[in-house]
């Protein structure tokens, strides 16, 4: 099973790492290429491009300037321990057992505007570049155009025959994959909460639920759709009644 998740804007490069095991990104050369373009942007240009504050623009200008290869534990950090948003709160990677971390390395994939796709233990340097940013590279007018064929081909090369793909990425990041071009089954879980008597997708809760499901799939070394439907963390449960499309199972609480 391959599990796709989004990255996070918030980063943690200070917490003590629970392992010294690490790997290298598959698309490091492409990240170097994208960074070369980012390095030419001034703080003011980054602020305008990314719609961020002056302070964040200055921080990310510094990050872009200090980006350097080769990556090592001295200048980079494993991705799953660097991202620090709602999805990663649900995933809680720091509490993964040694065996579960091996499963995560095999199954979990993090989509990224700069790095394309990352295994959990792939080293990464701090950055900010959302997939939806209007930023052209290599003659392409967007990051989607730059990445989509590369990432879809890469996933197909990684996937075993009939291996299930569980898309837990946000729409912004999932749009970087041509799911119709994947050669194996794909499901897109949906998380809804009751609010004012109606089922709704509430962004904060849905993000954490994606991380919780990723953790469930890693802990159980899941392989099948039934394993996915067995998810019950944090009060969620699969609802056949709320599910109109078998490829988009709905979990409610």
Domain assignment present for 52:
yes
pLDDT at site 230: 98
Domain assignment present for 223:
no
Domain assignment present for 148:
yes
- Residue span of the structural domain in which 17 resides: 2-189
Domain assignment present for 98:
yes
| 96 vs 234: CA distance, rounded Å | 18
Domain assignment present for 22:
yes
pLDDT at site 246: 96
pLDDT at site 100: 97
pLDDT at site 19: 96
Domain assignment present for 249:
no
Taking residue 232's Cβ as centre, other Cβ atoms within 10 Å add up to: 13
Domain assignment present for 221:
no
Taking residue 253's Cβ as centre, other Cβ atoms within 10 Å add up to: 16
Residues forming beta bridges with residue 199, ordered by sequence position = 194
Can you list the residues of the chain whose pLDDT is less than 50?
A: none
pLDDT at site 138: 83
Report the phi/psi class of residue 196: left, alpha or beta, with left for phi > 0 and alpha for psi in -120 to 50. left
pLDDT at site 197: 87
SS3 198: strand
Domain assignment present for 212:
no
Our count of domains for the chain comes to 1
Give pLDDT tens digits for 34-75: 999 999 999 999 999 999 999 999 999 999 999 999 999 999
252 φ, ψ (degrees, to nearest 5):
-125, 160
pLDDT at site 139: 85
């Amino acid at each position: 099973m391959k599990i796709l998740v989004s990255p996070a804007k918030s980063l943690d490069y200070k917490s003590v790492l629970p392992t010294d095991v690490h790997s290298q990104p598959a698309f490091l050369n492409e990240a170097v290429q994208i960074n070369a373009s980012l390095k030419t942007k001034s703080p003011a240009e980054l602020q305008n491009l990314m719609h961020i504050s002056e302070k964040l623009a200055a921080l990310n200008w510094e990050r872009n300037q200090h980006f350097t290869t080769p990556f090592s534990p001295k200048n980079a950090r494993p991705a799953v321990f660097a991202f620090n948003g709602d999805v990663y709160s649900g995933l809680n990677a720091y509490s993964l057992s040694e065996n579960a971390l091996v499963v995560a390395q095999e199954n979990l994939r993090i989509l990224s505007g700069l790095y394309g796709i990352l295994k959990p233990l792939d080293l990464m340097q701090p950055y900010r570049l959302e997939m939806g940013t209007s930023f052209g590279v290599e003659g392409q007018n967007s990051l989607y155009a730059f990445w989509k064929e590369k990432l879809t081909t890469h996933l197909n090369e990684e996937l075993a025959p009939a291996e299930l793909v569980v898309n837990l990425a946000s729409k912004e990041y999932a749009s970087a994959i041509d799911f119709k071009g994947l050669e194996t089954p794909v499901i897109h879980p949906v998380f809804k909460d009751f609010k004012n008597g109606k089922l709704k997708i509430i962004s904060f809760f849905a993000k954490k639920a994606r991380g919780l499901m990723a953790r469930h799939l890693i802990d159980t070394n899941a392989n099948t759709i039934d394993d996915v439907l067995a998810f019950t963390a944090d009060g969620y449960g699969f609802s056949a009644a709320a599910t109109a499309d078998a490829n988009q199972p709905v979990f409610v609480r």
